[in-house]
Structures are given as C-alpha cells and as structure tokens.
Structure 1
C-alpha cells in the first residue's frame, strides 16, 4: 500500500463541476474522492486550496459551512489553505459600461510551495494533483528534480484539461461524474469533537 498526498485546486475543480452539473456535486468530500481515485493507497494528507468569497454574504456563508463540514468529516487529514480574491475594475470596450470583477490570487503559488514541501520531505510515494492548470508545470518539474522517486498524477476536473500537464505527466486522467457522485459528504455532518452539525446548503441541491 502506497502513501498518497492530495493537492486540490478548489477554483479549478469548482468551475469544472459547475459546468458539468451545476451545483449538484459541490458538497464534495475530497478525502473520500481521493480514496476512490487511489483505492489501493493510504490517503495521508489532503490539502484544499481556496479563497474566501468577497461581496456576497450568502455565498460566503455557504462556503464557510462547507469548509467546516470538510474539517469535521476528516479530522487530521484535511487541511484548508486559503489564498485571496482581488477586486478588479473592468470596462466594456464597446459600450463603456464598468463593473467589478474578481481574480483569485495565490492559489498557484500555494500549491507549488506545497508540492515542493512534499517532494523534499519524501514522506509519501504519490501526489495526486486535482487541477488542470498548466501554470503548475514549473513546480512539477522542480519537484521531480528534488525527488525523482515521487509519483505525481494530475486528476483533471470535468471539462478541464491541460495538454502541457498531460505531456509532462502522461498518467493524467479526468475525474468521472460517477466518482464525484459517490464522494459526496453526508447531508448532515456532525463534528465528533464539538457536536456541531453542518447541513448541506439547500442552494446546492
């Protein structure tokens, strides 16, 4: 049995799942998913990279509930790594209308740093990279230089693919809808320490 760490690009995965089935699979248990994707391995370290929602109290509340449920369901294995969103003023070139957009920052760097830490530590055999972001290729190359024994496997979210990552790591594959459906958190997650219960948001049904 091998030891596997998992790095989840939350933004990349979120948009892939939304494109596939709307909000149906957003209540996803990443540890359970990793166990189904690597059934012969021991999942020892799962890191979910995301950023706090800005300017939308309802969405921020759903996100907070979800992150607490993830931690409660997977004590000792699940770690949340937060970047940030940056507001951007955008303007339509045709009509001149302006609006505020949002850009996620720091996630790529945080994943790259985590990958290098894991490679240097040498405590796992495999890293499952849940992302199709080709910006991670330099980090993959560097991690390979640090630890040639480390196996790195990209797991592409639905409707996301990177030709560059596939070329660099031919073991890349796309996560199936079946695996997402089978890896949902319980509708109600109870924290075994505090006893607090977290319910799947009705908006995500």
Structure 2
C-alpha cells in the first residue's frame, strides 16, 4: 500500500466550494476527504494551509471554530499551517489614486489580500519530497503558482507521484500542470466527508458546533 500526504490550499478550496455550493460543505473533514479520494493509500497526514480571516468578525469566528474542530477531531492527522492577510488599499483603475467614499471625512476603502500560502505549500511539498516522506503527494488546489515547487519536488524525488485534486469549479487543470495527474473533487465526496455536527475535544472536553450559517 502506498502512503499519501495531502497539501490543502484552504482558500482555493473554500472559494471553489462557495462559488459552486454556497456554505453547505464548509464543515469539511479533511482527513476523511483524502481517504475517500485516495482509498488505496495509507494517510500519513494532511497539511492544511489557510490564514486567519480579517475584517469580517463573524466569518473569523466561524473559521476559528472550524480550526478548533479539525484539531480536536483529527489531532494526529491534520496539521494547520497559518499564513496571514495583509491590508490592501483599493485604488482607482484609471488614475491609480486611492478610492474614498463620499462621507465627511472621507473613508479610504481597503481590502485584505492573502499572503504566502502558495509559498508555504511549495516549501512543504519540496521538503517532504527531499525527505521521502510519502509515496504520493496530493495537492488540493488549482493554483498555477505551485508549478515551480511541483517541478522542484519531482526533481528531488522522481518516484513520488503527484496528483492535483481540483476544488469545485475547476473542471480541468491549467496546461502548466502537464506533469501531474489530476481529478475533480465532486459533490458526493464533500457531502460524505462532513465533520460531526458536534465535535468534542478528548483532552479539554470542549465541544465545537457546526456554525449555523454552514448548512
């Protein structure tokens, strides 16, 4: 039996699920999902890459509950790797000047941009290939920024099979992923791999409930 490590691009998966299915599959059991799509492999671990939400308190609270539930449900299998969001001021597309509203005093508009997730995924992928950490690498993402890291990983360990598990909304990978296998994550897999509605931490006794909006 082959071994597998999964590298999950949290926001690539999140936005794919949101665009296709709304909120209903956010309470996702990542370890169960990997086992379902790679039933012939023995799971070594899931590396889950995300960043704390900024600027949306309710969404940040839901995300925090989810991360705690993941840690409680699969403590030996799921490792969460946190990146960051950086503030980004919006600018006019014509003059490139800052956008402001009509309030008095005017308020400068800003958004938040996720930083370094693709770099973090790439670094772990290459590191694990150098260490011969698993026979198979499963990348849950469709981000073409990962191509250089994939190519480096293949040079380090040519025998390690690399597959892309494409999030909803990505029917086929970019042509730049021509050296890896791929398949789509379908709705039936997402539906079947939800965490229990209530997840209890066996150590602390804390209980984490699926957010009401995530139904």
Query: Is 1:175 paired with 2:185?
Result: yes
Alignment of 1:177-192 (within 5 A): 177-192=187-202
Please tell me the root mean square deviation across aligned C-alpha atoms, in Å. Answer: 1.5
Q: Give 1:147 deviation, angstroms.
A: 0.5
2:173 corresponds to which residue?
162
CA contact (8 A) 1:132 1:165 kept: no
1:79 corresponds to which residue?
79
Q: Give 1:192 deviation, angstroms.
A: 1.3
Q: Deviations over 1:156-178 (max 9, x none)?
A: 00113532344121x21111011
| Distance in 1 of aligned mates of 2:76 and 2:90 | 42
Segments of 5+ residues of structure 2 without an aligned counterpart are 101-108
CA contact (8 A) 1:165 1:172 kept: no
Q: Give 1:9 deviation, angstroms.
A: 0.2
Which has the larger helix fraction? 1
Alignment of 1:87-102 (within 5 A): 87-93=87-93, 97-98=99-100, 99-102=109-112
| Distance in 2 of aligned mates of 1:186 and 1:27 | 9
Structure 1 residues 121-130 or 97-106, which shifts more?
97-106
CA contact (8 A) 1:137 1:168 kept: no
Change in CA separation of 1:130 and 1:102 when aligned onto 2, cut-off 3 Å: same
| Distance in 1 of aligned mates of 2:99 and 2:184 | 38
Query: Is 1:129 paired with 2:172?
Result: no
1:40 corresponds to which residue?
40
| Distance in 2 of aligned mates of 1:165 and 1:70 | 32
| Distance in 2 of aligned mates of 1:157 and 1:27 | 15
1:62 corresponds to which residue?
62
Q: Give 1:115 deviation, angstroms.
A: 0.2
1:113 corresponds to which residue?
123
Corresponding residue pairs, total: 204
Q: Give 1:94 deviation, angstroms.
A: 6.7
Query: Is 1:202 paired with 2:194?
Result: no
CA contact (8 A) 2:144 2:177 kept: no
Q: Under a length normalisation based on structure 1, what TM-score does the superposition of the two structures give?
A: 0.95
| Distance in 1 of aligned mates of 2:176 and 2:154 | 13
2:51 corresponds to which residue?
51
Q: 3-state SS of the aligned residue for 1:203?
A: coil
CA contact (8 A) 1:137 1:164 kept: no
Q: Deviations over 1:96-146 (max 9, x none)?
A: 744211110010110001001110111210010000001101000000100
| Distance in 2 of aligned mates of 1:88 and 1:25 | 29
